[in-house]
Amino acid sequence: MIQAIGLTSIPRKEQPPAVDNVSFEAHAGRVTALLGAPGAGKTTALRLMLELQRGRGITYFRGRPLHRIPHPAHEVGVVLGDVPGHPARSVRGHLRMLCAASGVPARRADEVLEAVGLVSLRDEPLGTLSRGTDRRLGLACALLPDPHTLVLDDPARGLAVGERRWLYDMLREHAAQGGTVLCSAADPKEAARFADQVVTLDGGRVVADQRAADFARTRLRPRVVVRSPHAARLSVLLAQRARSTQRSVEVVREGGNRLCVYGSTCAEVGETAFRNGIVVHQLADEVGDMGPGAGADSDASPVPTPAAESQPSAETAARSAPDPDPETTAASDAGPRPHPEPESSTPVPQTAHAPSTPPEPSEDASDDAPRTTPEPPPAKPTATLPPPVLVRPAPTPLRPVRYEIRRAAGVATGYVVGACVLAVSALTALLLARIGHTPQPRLLAAWPVELPLPPAALGAGLLGALAFGDEFRHPALAVDRGTVPRRLGLLTAKLFVASLTALALAVLTVGCTAELLYLVHGSELVALPDDWPALTAGWLALVTGCAWAGVLAAGVFRSTTAGLAAVVAVPLLVVPAVHKITEGSAGRGPAPLGGRLRDGLPLRWPFGGEQHLEALLRLLAQPVGGAMALSVLALLCAYAFTGLRSRVR
């Protein structure tokens, strides 16, 4: 179950808080609706519950707050707005990436796709999905780790009638299997139909917490909707008949040729119209709302239910009535009732009950079939949940690595950047060879003296910045939290994959430029220099350092642009500063330091380790190497500091 206690948002300036001391419970096995008009505080309350927004109060999910749950996605599935994913990623690729992040088998993606009916669209990009398909995918993402609790923010907004019925069937099926479902709604009729418990918010406060039957009885009023070209005349006749029979009948004209009659029945209204020769274009039962939340605009409102098909009780009628024509309810939902009645004076008219005789069976029904129970509502499309996850693999260090590989390989951005780097490097190398006077190492790396960094280093830095930048723009890893958590395992995986990508890009760049120079100018430009091991180590370290700087800067500043700017700032700003600092100590090289380390230790360095140490120190003593090392270290410290600060808050 869910226990929300004292949820209060932080007010802005002198405005009152959007949510003020909201407390309620959502029990397992039930569907709980958080009802309120736009601006009532529904979304803010959900964000406070999920710890996505700072405020006071606490929420327990089966006795534990969300930050105390080791794997929140296994406990709470969330749908807040559209699916937070890269628009170029395929539906199946997005789910498989989340499978790697959640620690469930990859086949789980196909299971949830089949359950939500998206098997035929599994190869479609996320950016091309319609509103209804996007809602289905959002529910699939929430159900992927097989959570116990579902939290959804207005999931039926903008959906067609059939899509809404399917969605509510899925939610009720999840609750029937023992899960907890909490979703917000703006239309009281919708809330009364699909929910078991209705919590009403008004002005950021809880004004009612009722079962659906009590909510339908006290806050919904059955009425008769009439459309006629002579609506004014019919209104007068209905008022006259009510006075003559001494009945409490209220007739409200809601613009154009539409009337809403409270306290009467379809039979009485139709008889009055027939006796006076008034043409009627529509005559149907409907449910009108009153009280807090009334008049909220809804894209989808219940379809008027004919009197002959009304259910045996107000609760059943409110829960299972078919959906209305949007045109029918647009006027009735335009604003609150002009004369709201108190609870004690809001009787439940007999229009909400079925007639004493059962409805006439259809032509293909059996005449002698027993009628011991009221006729059930029309058959709804069945909804089947994906099978439960019985065995969850144990957490391994490879889980974030698998996630990162699927994230990077799921879109074409990395391949396009790599192809552009190779093309630009090849053209630059040919141009430098034609001009001449370029050292061979810079020629193979396609690195003109005028540029601060070679194309391969810039490309590696861009791919590293995209590793975190795209994740903050299109949150995917933590769909249950809405943000990308600063976890050490995630950072390690990103640095590892970025290193592999940078090394591959560096090797391919040198290989392509060497092959092209050999084909065009012969073998004299591609001969190996004597110090090629040191040059190779420096080249690989430079490209890898740029990739690491891009990853860390994007993680600290949550921006791809900031990550790439940090990469470019190393040769432009940090290198000159390091060069000035080390300019006066040119006489002290790394070799004496290596000798002192070798002589000062009681044991010899194994396998000639002092030589490798001297090579590393020589590399760091260069301005570019030292600047890159200092930049990566500073960004790593900043990343750790921001992660620690977010945990403290």
With a CB cutoff of 8 Å and minimum separation 6, the contacts of 63 are none
**Each residue of 159-205: pLDDT tens digit?**
888 889 999 999 999 999 999 999 999 988 889 889 999 999 999 99
C-alpha to C-alpha distances, 175 to 1, 28, 159, 386, nearest whole angstrom: 11, 7, 21, 14
* pLDDT of 300 higher than 70: no
What is the CATH topology of the domain spanning 2-216?
Answer: Rossmann fold (3.40.50)
Question: Cα(313)–Cα(211) distance, rounded to whole angstroms?
Answer: 15
- With CA atoms as reference, report the closest residue to 457 among 352, 571, 308, 343: 571
Q: How many CB atoms lie within 10 A of CB 14?
A: 5
* pLDDT of 133 higher than 70: yes
Question: Cα(475)–Cα(457) distance, rounded to whole angstroms?
Answer: 27
Kindly list the domain boundaries of the chain, sorted by start residue.
2-216, 220-337, 398-648
Percent of the chain's residues with pLDDT above 90: 39
Question: Cα(6)–Cα(19) distance, rounded to whole angstroms?
Answer: 9
What average pLDDT does the segment 2-29 reach? 92
What average pLDDT does the segment 544-562 reach? 90
DSSP 434-445: HH----HHHHHH
**Each residue of 597-627: pLDDT tens digit?**
445 444 454 545 555 545 555 555 455 666 7
220-337 under CATH 3.30.70, yes or no:
yes
C-alpha to C-alpha distances, 273 to 70, 229, 279, 346, 418, nearest whole angstrom: 66, 12, 7, 26, 75
What average pLDDT does the segment 273-287 reach? 88
Q: Which of 9-18, 37-46, 362-371, 508-517 has the lowest mean pLDDT?
A: 362-371
**Each residue of 341-394: pLDDT tens digit?**
333 333 333 333 333 333 333 333 333 333 333 333 434 445 788 988 887 777
* pLDDT of 322 higher than 50: no
Q: Which of 284-298, 320-334, 573-587 has the lowest mean pLDDT?
A: 320-334
- For residues 304 and 622, the model is more confident at 622
Which residue(s) pair with 150 in the sheet?
Answer: 77, 181
Query: Do the beta carbons of residue 37 and residue 293 sit within 8 Å?
Result: yes
Residue 583 token pair: 């300019």
pLDDT band at 126 (very low <50, low <70, confident <90, very high): very high
Question: Cα(544)–Cα(546) distance, rounded to whole angstroms?
Answer: 5
> What is residue 362's three-state secondary structure?
coil
DSSP 78-134: EEESS--S-TTSBHHHHHHHHHHHHT--THHHHHHHHHHT-GGGTTSBGGG--HHHH
Which residue(s) pair with 201 in the sheet?
Answer: 206
- Amino acid letter, residue 364: D
With a CB cutoff of 8 Å and minimum separation 6, the contacts of 556 are 562, 635, 638, 639, 642
pLDDT band at 405 (very low <50, low <70, confident <90, very high): very high
Question: Cα(493)–Cα(485) distance, rounded to whole angstroms?
Answer: 13
Q: Any idea what the Cα angle at residue 42 is, between residues 38 and 43, rounded to 5°? A: 95
SS3 content of the chain, % helix, strand, coil (to 5): 50, 15, 35
E strand map for 180-320: 180-185, 197-202, 205-211, 220-227, 250-253, 258-262, 282-289
pLDDT band at 415 (very low <50, low <70, confident <90, very high): very high
Largest CA distance in the chain: 116
With a CB cutoff of 8 Å and minimum separation 6, the contacts of 330 are 301
C-alpha to C-alpha distances, 66 to 47, 60, 70, 537, 615, nearest whole angstrom: 12, 7, 9, 46, 49
Q: What does the H/E/C string look like for 290-311?
A: CCCCCCCCCCCCCCCECHHHCC
Work out the burial of residue 646: count CB atoms within 10 Å of its CB; fewer than 13 is exposed, 13-18 middle, 19 or more buried: exposed
| Total count of residues recorded for the chain | 649
- φ, ψ (nearest 5 deg) of residue 610: -65, -30
- φ, ψ (nearest 5 deg) of residue 289: -100, 160
